[in-house]
Amino acid sequence: MKKTILLIIALITGIYSANAQYKKGDIELGGEISYKVTDGFHQFAISPEAEFFLNEHWAINTGISLFGNNHKTRFGISAGVNYYLPITQKLYFAPRGGFDVEFTESNWAICIKPNLVYELTEHIAMSLGIGYIGVGQFDDNNNTSFRIGICDNLAWGIAYKF
């Protein structure tokens, strides 16, 4: 029984790996438009980014962000890593772990953000992110806190793969 279960797991893993469309050396240029509610403030962000694939599952990324709300505009950078887990041949669950810093404030965060990525064509992919889990300074009070956001951080993105 134990061998049968291991064989089934190996077959499923092999099938999903064979369907993987990303490969080592792929580069994606893209970005996200996001909406977030933090401490009652509604914030929008535009975040261009670049992603380099280490293999079919792991990618490192870096980007810049321009944040704005009804009070001010801020600038930030981010760096992180994504793990692409194929659900179907073109749909991936791609949680992103990373570090974000805002330069005009003392805000920073280390977060994990769940994303779904869908390959529209061989070169164009679309992503949807909902929520986050993280620790950092999320407000102007310089207090470090742990946060879980389910629906207060929504992001939509598009990328071009070379």
Q: Please, what sign has the CA dihedral across residues 116, 133, 61, 155?
A: positive
Q: 50-87 pLDDT, tens per residue?
A: 999 999 999 999 999 887 776 777 788 989 999 999 99
Which DSSP category does 40 fall into? T
Q: Please, what sign has the CA dihedral across residues 15, 21, 26, 32?
A: negative
Whether residue 13 contacts residue 138, with contact meaning beta carbons closer than 8 Å, is answered with no
**Higher per-residue confidence, 89 vs 103:** 89
The confidence score (pLDDT) of residue 139 equals 65
| Domains in the chain, CATH or no CATH each | 2-161 (2.40.160.20)
pLDDT band at 15 (very low <50, low <70, confident <90, very high): very low
Q: Is it the case that residue 39 has pLDDT exceeding 80?
A: no
The confidence score (pLDDT) of residue 36 equals 76
* The two three-digit tokens of residue 78, written as one number: 């981010």
Distance CA 156, CA 33 (A): 5
Q: 91-119 pLDDT, tens per residue?
A: 999 999 988 887 766 678 888 889 999 99
pTM: 0.75
Distance CA 132, CA 75 (A): 20
* The two three-digit tokens of residue 132, written as one number: 């986050």
